Amino acid sequence: MFFGSIPAVITPFKNNKVDYESLNNVVEYLISNQSNGLVPCGTTGESPTLSHEEHKKIIEETIRINDKRVPVIAGTGSNNTIEAIEFTQHAEKVGADAVLVVTPYYNKPTQSGLYQHYKSIADNSNIPIIIYNIPGRSIIDMSINTMIKLSKLKNVIGVKDATNDLFRPVLTNKLMNSEFCYLSGEDGTALAYLAQGGHGCISVTANIAPKLCSDMHLHWRNGNISKAQEINLKLSTLHNALFLESSPGPVKYAAYLKGLCEAETRLPLVEISEETKKEVKKCLFENELL
C-alpha cells in the first residue's frame, strides 16, 4: 500500500537538456524531508516532451539515487498502448516499485478502450499498476464501473484521482477490494480526500514543501486532525499559486528560488509571467520556505 505525501518529481532542464546533477539535488531534498515516495516522469515531470531515452534514464537515475529508501512509482503512461507497455516493462526491469499509467490523452477511447488499454499493460507486466485518472488533461474520465472492472486484474492496485470529485472515493470504496489504494492528484483537496477514504497524495506542492506536506499526512494518520488542518490551511495559498499557470511552470520557478534547479521548461510550456513569479515568491516567504 502506498500512502502519505508522494511528490510528482519535476524534471530539471538546462539548455534544453535533462540536468541530472540537479535531479540528484531534487531527489535528495525530497527524501531528506520525509517524502513517502517519488513519482518520476509524470505530468509534473513533463513526460510528453521527453525522448524515450530521456524518459528511461530519468527513471533509472531516480531509482539509483533513491537506493530503496522510499517507493518509486514510475510514470509509464502513453496514448500509445504499445509505448506504455514498453515503458512499463522497462520500469519493472530497472527496479521501480510500481508504475503510474495515465488514461490515454487525445485519442478519446471509449470505456471499453480504456479497459483494454490497461488490461494489455497488465497482461504484459507483473509490476503494480496505478491508474492515473485526470480528465482535465486527458479529456476522458474513467467511469467507476470501468475502474471496478480493472481492479479485478492481478496487478492494477490503485488510482491517482485528479478528478476533484470527493464523492468518488466513497462510491468506489464500497465496491472495490479493501487493498485498493486511493491517492489524490489534487493538492488543494488532498486532506479532504483523506477524509473520504484516501491514503495519500501524488503532489506538485510536495516538490517545494515536502516536509509540510509529509507532516500533514502524518498528523492525519496519527489522528491529530486539528494539526493536519492547520498545515492544510497554511499551504492553501501556495497550492493556488503553483497552478496560476500550467504546471510545472510555477513549481519549477519555486524550485529555482530554492536553489534546486533552473526554472526552465520545454516548449510548448514557456516562462511564467512576472505577476505569477511575484505570487509564487510571496507564498514561499509566507510559508518560511525561503
Q: Which positions are annotated as active-site residues?
A: 132, 160
> 257: burial class by Cβ within 10 Å (0-12, 13-18, 19+)?
middle
Write the CB contacts of 269 (distance below 8 Å, at least 6 apart in sequence): 46, 49, 246, 248, 249
CB atoms within 10 A of CB 80: 13
